[in-house]
Amino acid sequence: MTKVYFQNHGFMHCDLRWLVNATNYASRRNLSPPTTWYDLPTLTLVIDHPEGKILFDTSCPRDWESRWAGSGLDDYFPYDNVSEEEYLDSSLKRLGLEPSDFRMVVLSHLHFDHAGNLRLFQGSGARLLCHRAEKEGALAIPGDYQGAFVKKDYQDGFTIDTLEGEPEIAKGVKLLDLPGHTWGTMGVMLDLPNSGTIIYPSDAIYMKASYGPPPVGSPIVWNSLEWLNSVEKVRKLAERHNATVVFSHDSELVRSGLRLAPAFYD
């Protein structure tokens, strides 16, 4: 039987306005409204499937300060609230897992907080996967980093296979094509016998406040129209399948509503 473990790897921090546009607008009487310094969880999924184990995303690296130096990410999104047991390698060990235990590692997209631990899987035997458009776009950026892309996370020493469309990569595990946040953002839809259908849209939908309705956008969007279409696509799928939608960066959900590893959904 398939089991799905949601792992939280601690918290980054950022100005909430990076995630949700419609917060704390200035007015004539308040030209400098306060912002919210937001606790930003970073999730991965371990899909323990009879056909082989799958890891969805890889979170942030231990060496984030030096890895992100010069990019500005260490100032705008510091990964500064994480315990030893929450780093990806430690959280996998807590489940009795090593990188070599995985048949594949799927990257929802190649941003710094999703592809940051890809190097753990060099030589592991796991097949690395992302969307074709994502790989092409991320490799084409000039310099060592741009926006939320850090090329050293994914550029050298890797063979990353690509895919398109919405393949079922294992029975009951379907990838979703959800562009907009980046060129090739993907989510995953999981059909589980006891827990029902779970949709994890990754950063196509950051949090409940983003989902709406109406959807609320973010400055970190490659194509606003495609992003909006992706949100509505998730909404239709959720209605059709009576699915639970798990948001990627919703601190309230992580702290109060989401079953976290070592607990699981099945």
Task: Give me the domain span that covers residue 41.
Answer: 3-21+33-175+252-256
pLDDT of amino acid 80: 97
Of 261, 266, 265, the closest CA to residue 85 belongs to: 261
Q: Is residue 231 part of a domain?
A: no
CA distances from 70 to 100, 146, 257 (A): 33, 11, 36
pLDDT of amino acid 209: 93
Q: Is residue 188 part of a domain?
A: no
Q: Is residue 13 part of a domain?
A: yes
Q: Which residue has the tokens 């398109």?
A: 164
Residue type, 232: E
pLDDT of amino acid 27: 86
pLDDT of amino acid 35: 87
Domain of residue 58, CATH code: 3.60.15.10
Helical (H) or strand (E) element with 10: strand 3-15
pLDDT of amino acid 28: 87
Strands in 37-48's sheet, in edge-to-edge order, are 3-15, 37-48, 53-56, 102-106, 127-131, 160-163
Q: Is residue 106 part of a domain?
A: yes
Of 153, 130, 129, 128, the closest CA to residue 141 belongs to: 153
Q: Is residue 116 part of a domain?
A: yes
Q: Is residue 194 part of a domain?
A: no
pLDDT of amino acid 158: 85
pLDDT in single tens digits along all 266 residues of the chain: 999 999 999 999 999 999 998 777 788 899 888 889 999 999 999 999 999 999 999 999 999 999 999 999 999 999 999 999 999 999 999 999 999 999 999 999 999 999 999 999 999 999 999 999 999 999 999 999 999 999 999 998 889 999 999 999 999 999 999 999 999 999 999 999 999 999 999 999 999 999 999 999 999 999 999 999 999 999 999 999 999 999 999 999 999 989 999 999 99
Spatial separation of the C-alpha atoms in residues 59 and 87, rounded to whole Å:
8
Q: Is residue 64 part of a domain?
A: yes
CA dihedral 218, 237, 111, 127 (to 10 degrees): 180
| Whether pTM exceeds 0.75 | yes
Q: Is residue 199 part of a domain?
A: no
Number of folded domains that form the chain = 1
| 91 close to 62: Cβ distance less than 8 angstroms | no
| 9 close to 60: Cβ distance less than 8 angstroms | yes
Helices (H), the chain: 64-67, 73-76, 88-94, 132-140, 208-211, 224-241, 251-256
